[in-house]
Structure formats: C-alpha cells, structure tokens
Amino acid sequence: MAFYSSGDVKTKYLDPKSFSDGSRAVFELEGHHLAYLPNMRLLDIGVFGQANGFYNKLIGANGIIREVTLFDGATILTQLNNYGLYRGFQLQNTSNSNAQSIVNFKSAGGQLGLQMLSDDGLLQNLQRDLVTAAARQDSKGAYVELREILPMLNSVTHLPTDLFRNLRLEITFNTAAAEQILQDITHTITGMLLPVLAVDVLDNKSIVDKMNRGLGKSIAWLEVEHDQVVYEATATNGGAGDQGVEEVKNFKLDGYKNKSVERIVQIKEIQDITTVLNGNDVKGFGRYQSVALFNEKIQVRLNGRNIFPNSGLTGNMERLAYVVDTYGDCAAYPGSNTNDIDSGAVIGPDAGAGRDLIGNLSYNAFYLGEKINDLQIQHSRTGLEDDGTNNYTKASTAALNVHYYAEVKKALVVGNNGYNIVYL
C-alpha cells in the first residue's frame, strides 16, 4: 500500500491493559486513532523460570496460548478456540525449507524441517533450540501474525474506529501444564513474558475516508471453527484381545449444521498425556501431535452421500495426498503419518529421536464446499497389543479426542446503524 512509504502509517507497541500472569492478557485499541491496519503482530509469547527448558518441538512457545479473540465491545469479530492443535497443523503446513528457516524461529523453539548430513546420511534438524531462562528479560518468546489465525483480518483493508468503536484483543493462556509447553516436565515455570501487541495505525483523514468508501457493504471471510468428538478406548485398551481387531465408529458433527463449510482438517489427540511421556521427557511433538492409527480409514458422509469412493481414504499415503491437495505443502518426514515405519532408521541425532517422531503428523483433511444439513464421519482403526513402551501402538486402542477445524463462511454486513456478523 502506497501510504506505507508516505509516512502516514505509524507503528505502536501496546502493553496489555490488563494482564494476569499465566491466565489472560487484554489489549485495548484506543479509539482516538482513525483506523487500525489488519497486520497485527503478537510479540514475546513465552515463559521463564528454569534455564534451558526447551519448548515443544512442534509449536515452540505457542504452547501457552489457549484462545485468541478480537472483540468490538461485547461482539466477537473473529476468534480461534483450542489454539495449540490447530497452530501445530498450521506451522507444519509449509515446505521443509520454510519450516526450518522461518517457522522454527517465529515459534521460538519448534524443530520442523530436516536436512541430510553428509557424515552419517541421517536426517536432522540443525536449528539450535530456543530455550527459557531464569529471568524474564533473557527468555525467548514467539512471534504470531494474527492474520494467520484470525482470518477476518485477511479480508479487511483496515479497521476504522468510527465503525469498530471498542476494539479489544483478548488472549487466554495456560502455563500450569509443563507437558504442554516444555520438553522436560521437571523444569519449573515461574511466570510468563509480558506479551506485546504491535499495530499499525492511520490518522490521515483523507486516506481513511477514501478507504472507508471502498469498504463496501459486505465483507466475507472463512472463520476457523472447532468441533470435537471422543473416540473411546477399546474394551481392553491395548490388551492381547485388541490385536488385529478392526473398530469402526460413526460420529455426527452438529457444530457445523446450517453453515457453509469449505475445508476441514481432522486432528487426533491422545487423551492420556502420560502416553507421550518417556519418564520426564515429552516424546516427539507431545500434546500437539496428531497420532497415526493402524490401518486407519475415514469416510465422510455429507448431506446423505459419501464424498469418497468405496471405503473412503484407506492408505497412509492416500490420506497424506488429500491433506496436501486440500491445504498445500506439509513438512512431512519418513514415518510422520504412519505407525509402522521406524523413523529412527533415518532421523538422528540419537537413537530415540526418530522413534519418538513416528506418527506425530497424521492429519486427515477434506473439502466440502457446501452448506451442511447433515455431516457424519465414519472413522476406523485396527487394534495393536500395547507393549507399554511405544505410543504409536497405544494410539490404536487408547481414548482419543478427535478435533475438527473447519473453514466456515461468515460476513460482516455494514448498514447505516452499524454492522452485523452473519453466517452465509
């Protein structure tokens, strides 16, 4: 935009108006500016307490965020619930080189993206871990572009304060569960870094008036909304009787009824966090992984018809192909979406690193492109006897929280007396 070079845009760095350490931060966007630009950035997301406490390998310091909401007074403009699991999918939804060179550093500690070493031929992530520190001023934090998680901000050119009179950004946190944040759960967390919101403001009335005329009567975007079902544990939960037994479940998703839905990604979370622990160490991507299931199959029934032929998506590579076709590049690695390939044979540097990464990025995705009257998911897995050491066998019998994040069509309709937000 030309007004960036004209000097009319000023960047402001806002401290929270209210801040509850480990719980909540509220940023108020003051109304004396004529307009805010949508490229808002959240800075210094992280914790401190004990030096050298490595962040989660998938999402880094993002692990402390639970929910992000942009309000105008009491009206929710745009929101992302259950932030961590979806953010994990987003961060790996890129090329290998971009993950290694950019994403890891923005997340302040992620270990996505691999390269082959010439001395042993193993794939390794060479990025130095970003760590927490004993003092707030020395600890490392993540950087979040809010347009990546709040899609409304991608659809508006600006947020005029004569229309949005009481803009407020609220973030809720959870720093109590070390296994969700750090790689070693014995490390102590004393407190949070103080988050900062960077915003660009416009106070040139002629420019803002011109932009207001182009705002239009309706602004549409795809809001990311969350729904969840529970895939219950098998009868013996990994006992000998589960070996080779196929389990077929049918789930009905009512959270998207009467809404127009585009893409959906499915993320499979093991309920029992202890299954992704090796003593005090978090295995692989821990809480934020999407676990692979043995002989997994998925069929989607939309408004009375199946969207996939025959038995649906039945192969690991077929399911990965649908994710890439639907959402684009993913920073996958050998064994990332399957539970029967030993990644330890190709991923270093130590013997356990690869095995801990087996089946950590097993997502399912599909495109609907319709208004939902009835949406049902048929999901199946085949049991494996659990030997007590491998979380990739446990996933095929354990209780799962199965999360769905869907792009739902919404619009802001501007009228003489303000605006309304509606589903399309």
> pLDDT category, 52, cuts 50, 70, 90?
confident
Whether 17 and 133 share a structural domain? yes
Neighbours of 415 (CB within 10 A): 8
Q: Mention every residue, 6+ apart, whose C-beta is less than 8 A from residue 317.
A: none
**Could you tell me if 256 and 189 lie in one domain?**
no
Q: Is residue 416 part of a domain?
A: no
Whether residue 402 contacts residue 268, with contact meaning beta carbons closer than 8 Å, is answered with yes
pLDDT tens track for 285-297: 888 999 999 999 9
pLDDT tens-digit series, residues 69-103: 999 999 999 999 999 999 999 999 999 889 888 88
Q: Is residue 226 part of a domain?
A: yes
- End-of-domain residue from the set 215, 239, 260: 215
| Each residue's pLDDT tens digit, 149-175 | 999 999 999 999 999 999 999 999 998
Domain count, the chain: 2
What residue spans of 62-112 are helical by DSSP H?
83-92, 96-98, 104-106
Other C-beta atoms lying within 10 Å of the C-beta of residue 176: 11
H or E element, residue 227: strand 218-231
**Same domain as 202, residue 66:** yes
Cβ atoms of 90 and 320 closer than 8 Å? no
Its pTM stands at: 0.93
For residues 80 and 150, give the distance between their C-alpha atoms in angstroms, rounded to a whole number.
7
Same-domain pairing of 51 and 196:
yes
Please check whether residue 403 lies inside any domain of the structure.
yes
How many Å apart are CA 82 and CA 94, to the nearest integer? 21
Residues 6+ apart with CB under 8 A from 285: 56, 57, 58, 88, 357, 360, 361
| Structural domain containing residue 314 | 220-410
**Which residue carries 């199959």 as its tokens?**
297
Residues 250, 310 within the same domain: yes
241, part of any domain: yes
Q: Is the pLDDT of residue 335 over 70?
A: yes
Kindly report, residue by residue over 351-390, the tens digit of the pLDDT: 456 778 888 999 999 999 999 999 999 999 998 887 665 5
The domain spanning residue 253 has which CATH number?
2.70.9
